[in-house]
Amino acid sequence: MATEKHLSDDWGGDAKNASPDGEFVRDTTYIEDRIVADLPAGSEPIAQDNGAFHWPVEPGRYRLMAARACPWAHRTIITRRLLGLEDAISLGLAGPTHDWRSWVFDLDPEEKDPATGLHRLQEAYFNRFPDYPRGITVPAIVETESKKVVTNDFPSIPVDFQTQWTEHHRAGAPDLYPEHLREEIDELATWLFHEVNNGVYRAGFAGSQEAYDQAYERLWKAMDWLEGHLGEHRYLVSDQVTLADVYLYPTLIRFDAVYVGHFKASRNRISELPNLYGYLRELFQIPGFGDTTDFTEIKEHYYITHSEVNPTRIVPGGPDLSGLIEPHGRERLGGAPFAEGTTLPGPVPAGEEVKNPESFQK
């Protein structure tokens, strides 16, 4: 079994640092292992030239460890549901709050993940890397039997769900990563990460007024571009939902509930931006998006866990987000969420329903 550690420094997660001038700097080092379709099921991981390992696609072998509170994990939950991978990759959900040791399965009986018996996700990391030096992040894919982490490389997980797990997609699953659009999706995903997904954190965790001012201006420059783009295009890339939309949604859906106040991204609410708000309402109403969103857990995570930003740990009662279920009017721009012949996901599997389904109305 693989025991060597290989880490990537290209993307983001939850660990945070500050530069001397107060700018938020994300620890972007991850386990680069991948799960791929060209290895026989049941085989051991194979070391690659870069030191990472490739693991075989194998239904039932892996468990996606996530948290509804975390935007980086949310994108993997959405992708898994849209593609219908529920029977192939099980889902473990940590609670919304944690201490410095990170995520705890305290939503489950006896505060243990029912499939692995893990209490803290940290245990899966230490089972493979006893001296693991980085943040214990979600999403993470864990080998269920060995209880060892396989990868936490969150940018690659949705892509691999689409491209490597194809044989196990539900009938009529969408193609969220069309081959002819991949370069455009990847380019936009990189921009979204730096300017928007991580942009709200750069403002929220700024350690000086100057760093905050710069982060705020940079974020809203990007948000203004999105508002303009979505006034002319129904979705971010092409006229159908792609992974680019999956990547933007977790940030937009947290914006009014958390980022406006908690992260001081306060120029406008999304509900005040007609194109972004219509776009967000449409996504929220598509199965896989709204039915994987729990505002209670989202707010508890940010307002309780980030005590350096919110020392009182008081969780606000608002805002009322019930407008998300109002008509969105995006049909005027043409296109459709998915290509002809694609079907929407069915009901949420038993046991995977959000704990607080009406939380958007509070």
Which residues are catalytic, by number?
A: 70, 201
Strand ranges (E), 94-171: 140-143, 148-151
* CA contacts within 13 A on the Cβ side of 27: 13
Q: Are 280 and 270 a contacting pair, CB within 8 Å?
A: yes
Q: To 10 degrees, what angle do helices 71-83 and 156-163 make?
A: 10
The pair of structure tokens assigned to 15 is 């660990």
CA triple 74-173-328, angle to 5 deg: 60
What distance in Å separates the CA atoms of residue 238 and residue 184, rounded to the nearest whole number? 10
Backbone angles phi, psi at 169, to 5 degrees: -70, 155
The pair of structure tokens assigned to 225 is 């571009």
Strand ranges (E), 57-162: 62-66, 90-93, 140-143, 148-151
Query: Chain-centre distance of CA 206, in angstroms?
Result: 22
Ligand-binding annotation for 220, yes or no, is: no
What distance in Å separates the CA atoms of residue 1 and residue 16, rounded to the nearest whole number? 31
86: left (phi > 0), else alpha (psi -120 to 50), else beta?
Answer: alpha
What distance in Å separates the CA atoms of residue 148 and residue 123, rounded to the nearest whole number? 8
Q: Are 217 and 150 a contacting pair, CB within 8 Å?
A: no
Q: Which residues are annotated as a binding site for glutathione?
A: 103
Q: Which residues are annotated as a binding site?
A: 103
